[in-house]
Structure 1
Amino acid sequence: MRTHNRATKQRKGLAPAIAIAASAAFLVAGCASTAPPDEDGPTEDLQSYLEQDIDWAGCSGSATNTIDEELFANPELQCATIEVPVDYDKPDGNTAQIALLRLPASGEADGSLLINPGGPAGAGTSFVAANLPLWQDSPVAERFDIVGFDPRGVGGSTPSLDCYSDEEYDAGETPGFGAVYDITTAAQAEELADRCVEGSGGVENLINAGSVNVVRDMDVMREVLGDEKLTFLGYSYGSELGAMYAETYPEKIRAMAIDGAVDPTLSPTEHRVSQYVAVQQRFDELAVMCSETPDCVLGADPADANDRLHDVLEPLIDTPAVSSDGREVTIWDAYLGINAGLYSEASWPTIISALGALDKGESDEILALRDSFYGRTAAGEHTIDLDTNIAVRCMDWPRLSPEEQTTAARELGEIAPMFDLDELTSGTFRDECEAWPAPPSRDQPWVTPTSDLPETLVVATTGDPGTPYTGGITLAETLGSSLLTVEGKQHGTYLIAGSECVNDIVEAYLLDLETPPEGARCAL
């Protein structure tokens, strides 16, 4: 087994909003589906897209926020955009632009490693740029161009998908998210859909945002990048894109590594339950950690932690706290902040500190956690856009009736009592996609068992609250993949968790298609 000295060994984890959004699932009804693209290859109608040239240039003018402005200024990075049809049934119609960022291979390139960091709403361009020192120290970057892409509607890709402004998110003028979205009337669902249509440049852009089209975009990327077969790394929601691509284009897979897998055998509501079981487990473990310290805000007995959490948070329902910069902190903000911190064990002390401060009337720490959920910059930019997440999921997931959505909220409160406040679980809730202008375009289940794939690799972490460990087992079985089990409490491990064990195994696979032996395990 090779070992490599890493320039940075820090547990950054995936962006928490991406992690939550990637797995958030509240829908169970049957969904409409569209036929997959021609598996024998691209149609003649797409030739102009497949034959386009990529004009790589510096990235300094490609950033869409102040954080990326600094990251993208690195002269070792290159950026470009490619065109794809907005609607693949109308290839001669309107086009979308997909933003790409690459770190060229330091040696002779064998091809490209295409990366999706999760979501829906994760920008691959930002992910590669933010982790540049880690990639530069990776042997994969010696032989492969490292290419991050922003799925349609995300980051630098256009048209953008917008429903609310950053200012409206800051002011709490958007649907709150706890167990489910706090949409309680048909009028609220209609307002959301209308705002998303208007902010996305029209119905066509909005209803073509689903994963089915993102997968087709990935095949255009593969072709335009000059790769006969795809080498892909997908985190979290990227497991869905990778598996769907593999099912649609099995003959075009060279290598596919999945880190944090969504279970394709579960309905969205079933997956949501499995996720909240894991979230509650992480909170229970956090409560034990807290109880071992003096004056724990959650109490000396971990069994009382849920009630103590409610005592701290419930006052925010009627009277939001006010931060030092004048922003209100609502119950929804607090839960988003807690979720953000639970996605990496290294952040648990931050949650405990934030709750202790909030109990004393100080809200800046919990607001900082909420801001990390959205990737909020000091300039007030939300670099992780849940508008896009909603748009994609409304085209991916079957929709619930009000009765089913309300039942789902109640069930989540029961299996994860940390969320069981009346404000989050006891209302009458409606599906946020109820008034969407088109039915879903993805099948359920979104991938079925296959034996026609080359060797693929799934990495699954035992204490992952975003994509629970059992999902990794199931996706590996579905795709006939090798499985690497990682002992730890974090969402996303390869490269970003500082584990040489994980890195070596994944890199041996990506470079030389060497899969680990059955039962392979690492520990964080």
Structure 2
Amino acid sequence: MRFSRLRTLIAAGLLAVASTACTTQVTAPPPSPSPVADTHALDRFYEQQLAWGDCAPYATGQQSQDVFRAAGLECARLTVPLDYANPRGATITLGVLRHRALDPANRIGSLVMNPGGPGGSGMEAAARLVPTVVNNAIGLRFDFVGFDPRGVGASRPRVQCLTDAERDAVRDSNPGTSDAAWTGQAADYAGKCVQRTEHGAAMLANMGTRDVVRDLDVLRAALGDAKLSYLGYSYGTQVGYSYAEAFPDRVRALLLDGAIDPAENDPDSLVAQGTGFSRAFGQFATECARHDGCALGRDPAKATTEFQSLVQPLMTAPARTGDSRHLSYRDAITGVVEAMYSSQSWSFLNTGLGLLRAGDGSILLRLADSYYERAADGRYSSLQDAYYAVRCVDNAPVPDPAAVRQRMIDAAPFLGWGRPDQGELDVCAHWPVPSTSQPHQPMTVPAAPPLVISTTGDPVTPYQAGVNLANVFHGGLLTVAGTQHTAFLHGDMCVDVAGLDYLVDGTQPAPGTRCPA
């Protein structure tokens, strides 16, 4: 299970949502990028010509099949080294999707986007955003490009750890508060990732942000752009600022929304995220209490007690959902976490909690399915497996997972022991390959200052993280007032106009700008 997922996706039939990372100053220098003994060996990757064609063969499930049918989309495969330290060795491929600029005479170049995760499909996210961007300057003046990072979605090979049936079983299980139970599940999971992923440990060792950044630079060159224009949400901000650190002179524009603090470590981030979710839950309870029919009652101070009394019975007696599935305690917690990503989903959550009082867990299960990207046919995306594969090499293992779990519980008591995700701590403690990077203050600043968008009530990536990132990179800061995760292209004209002005001509909002104004 994931708690600190850094993702932005548009959940079919539900809402636009997204997710996070971690905090503490690191003084040791980060590991160096993977060395390339023979730089000429990379020429064939940088000089490759992409063969664009129909996107249908790139679909990995029903949702991608549907969005890839949209007019004007074309897809291709980008070839990159499995290991940049051995560029003459094995290769892998990334799926790439684009919608070409509708005003080619005034085309600026490509705008590459990453939706977060880690593990989110950039191809699907870009395809879902096309109906929005065709009506603005992005669609007119940029080729709008999404890619599936290595190991993700349509990229080959994919990281594979659990079968769909095994993932359902994990969600239905109740490890309780036993450290041994969490550890046993984590060790089994990590072992299966090595066994079931093509190239095994070699693939897992080269799944980190360090390697995604190298891939992104190859993609920039293959798209024919001298400099990168980039839109990153949530974990995608980490990809963006890491690219800027590695290739500071190859940046044209970086719009980073829902930012991660580069110097935050994993435990502190998880705890900070718990605090953010707890704050959002309190706001939900307060808003809910103003209305008749609030499933948690009319006293916000009692909301945590009411909620836990409602969901704790699920530990031994899962709720029915109207079909062969049931709602477990784990999934009830996950469903509530999913709803905290945006206040727009709170009414839906209250309905789900009300139904649960009547013994019906169907709506909370839908929310949990959205979080885990489980389709109606029972198939899961690659997001969760890729999430661990990236997080476990981007961060050093935590020496005492149990202590951090307790800090997380203290930060967000409404979540109890079912929260997604305490499991990350244990999985990474058993990960079969070492970390390839660590949180740190960037050592270089891009020539083109980024624009950072940060939301005051973001439950996933705290507002201050965006402030810190903007300061580190001498960039602009756009403050958004609200309780949601990420804001650009979500329908707020104030935010969208500022972002578009920056992407088109580099215009930064005036210092102190807030949306709504």
| TM-score, length basis structure 2 | 0.91
| Contact 1:29/1:400, CA 8 A, preserved across alignment | no
The residue that corresponds to 1:48 in the other structure is 44
- Mapped to 2, the partners of 1:466 and 1:181 lie a distance apart of 26
Identify the match of residue 76 of structure 1 among 72, 76, 85.
72
Question: Compared with structure 1, are the counterparts of its residues 119 and 523 closer, same or farther at alpha carbon in structure 2 (3 Å cutoff)?
Answer: same
> How far apart are 1:266 and its partner, in Å?
2.0
Q: CA deviation at 1:269?
A: 1.2
Q: Give the SS at the match of 2:365.
A: helix
1:512 to 493, 502, 505: 505
SS of equivalent to 1:272: helix
Taking structure 1 as reference, are residues 176 and 502 closer, same or farther at Cα in structure 2, changes over 3 Å only? farther
- The 1:516/1:351 distance shift into structure 2, 3 A limit, reads same
The CA deviation string for residues 52-106 of structure 1, in whole angstroms up to 9 with x for no partner, is 1100112122111111112112231000011001111111111111110000001
Q: In the alignment, which residue of structure 1 is the partner of 2:339?
A: 341
Residue ranges of structure 2 left out of the alignment (5+ in a row): 1-11
* 8 Å CA contact 1:232, 1:255 repeated in 2: yes
Partner Cα distance (1:161, 1:399) in 2: 20
Alignment pair present for 1:523 and 2:492: no
After superposition, the Cα gap between the structure-2 partners of 1:176 and 1:498, relative to the gap in structure 1 and judged at 3 Å, is farther
Residues in 2 aligned to 1:443 and 1:175: alpha-carbon distance in whole angstroms: 32
Q: Which stretch of the first structure deviates more once superposed, 187-196 or 463-472?
A: 187-196
450-459 or 120-129: bigger deviation: 450-459
Partner of 1:126: 124
Residue in 1 that maps onto 2:31: 34
1:60 aligns with 2:56: yes
| Residue 87 of structure 1: aligned partner | 83
Distance in 2 between the 1:394 and 1:335 partners?
A: 24
1:188 and 2:195 are equivalent in the alignment:
no
2: CA distance between counterparts of 1:429 and 1:254? 35
What is the Cα deviation at residue 140 of structure 1? 1.6
1:7 aligns to what? none
Change (3 A) 1:350 1:331: same
Cα deviation code 1:304-341 (max 9, x no counterpart):
00001100110111122232111122111111111111
Percentage of matched positions with identical amino acids? 35
Contact preservation (8 Å) 1:31, 1:398: no
Quick one: distance in 1 between partners of 2:204 and 2:225?
30
Please state how far the C-alpha of 1:146 moved relative to its aligned partner: 0.2
Q: Tell me, yes or no, if the aligned pair for 1:113 and 1:232 is still in contact at 8 Å.
A: yes
State the Cα distance separating 1:135 from its structure 2 match: 1.4
Query: Any stretches of 5+ residues in structure 1 without a counterpart?
Result: 1-9
Shifted more, 305-314 versus 404-413: the winner is: 404-413
Displacement, 1:448? 2.0
Partner of 2:354: 356
Contact kept in structure 2, 1:104 and 1:141, CA below 8 Å: yes
Correspondence 1:439 to 2:402: no
SS in 1 for 2:428: coil
The correspondence for 1:502, drawn from 478, 495, 498, is: 495
Residues 149-177 of structure 1 deviation map (CA, whole Å, 9 limit, x = unaligned): 11111110111001112222223368889
- Deviation of residue 375 (structure 1)? 2.5
Q: 1:65/1:182 Cα in 2 relative to 1: closer, same or farther (>3 Å)?
A: farther
Q: Identify the residue that residue 490 of structure 1 maps to in structure 2.
A: 484
d(CA) in 2 for partners of 1:253, 1:11: 36
Matched, 1:316 2:310: no
Shift of 1:520: 1.0
Report the CA distance between 1:376 and its aligned residue: 2.3
CA distance in structure 2 between the aligned counterparts of 1:340 and 1:36, rounded to whole angstroms? 35
Return closer, same or farther for 1:29/1:144 CA change in 2, 3 Å cut-off: closer
Maintained 8 Å contact 2:278/2:414: yes
Q: Is the 8 A contact 1:463 1:469 kept in 2?
A: yes
Q: Which residue identity does 2:449 align to in structure 1? A: E
Q: In structure 2, the residue corresponding to 1:441 is in which secondary structure?
A: coil
Question: Which residue number in structure 2 is paired with residue 392 of structure 1?
Answer: 390
Q: Is the 8 A contact 1:28 1:268 kept in 2?
A: no
Deviation at 1:486, TM superposition (A): 0.7
In 1: Cα distance, 2:460 partner to 2:279 partner:
12
Instruction: State the match for 2:5 in structure 1.
Output: none
Q: Give the alignment's Cα RMSD to 1 decimal.
A: 2.9
Q: Which moved more, 1:380-389 or 1:436-445?
A: 380-389
Query: What displacement does 1:107 show?
Result: 1.2
Match of 2:251 among 250, 253, 256: 253
Q: What is the letter of the counterpart of residue 436 of structure 2?
A: S
Partners of 1:114 and 1:147 within 8 A in 2: yes
Of stretches 185-194 and 379-388 in structure 1, the one that deviates more from structure 2 is 185-194
Structure 2 match to 1:420: 416
What is the one-letter code of the residue matched to 2:118? P
Shifted more, 348-357 versus 166-175: the winner is 166-175
Q: Which amino acid aligns with 1:97?
A: T
In the superposition, relative to structure 1, how do residues 327 and 297 fare at CA in structure 2: closer, same or farther (>3 Å)? Answer: same
Deviation digits for residues 261-307 of structure 1 (CA, Å, limit 9, x no counterpart): 01122221112222111111110011011111224221221000000
In the alignment, which residue of structure 2 is the partner of 1:472?
466
Give the TM-score, by structure 1 length.
0.90
Q: 1:128 to 1:428 in 2, by over 3 A?
A: closer
- Give 1:4's aligned residue: none
Q: What's 1:456 paired with?
A: 450
- Within a 5 Å distance, the mapping from 1:125-274 to structure 2 comes to 125-172=123-170, 184=181, 186-201=183-198, 202-274=200-272
Give the count of matched residue pairs.
503
SS in 1 for 2:59: coil
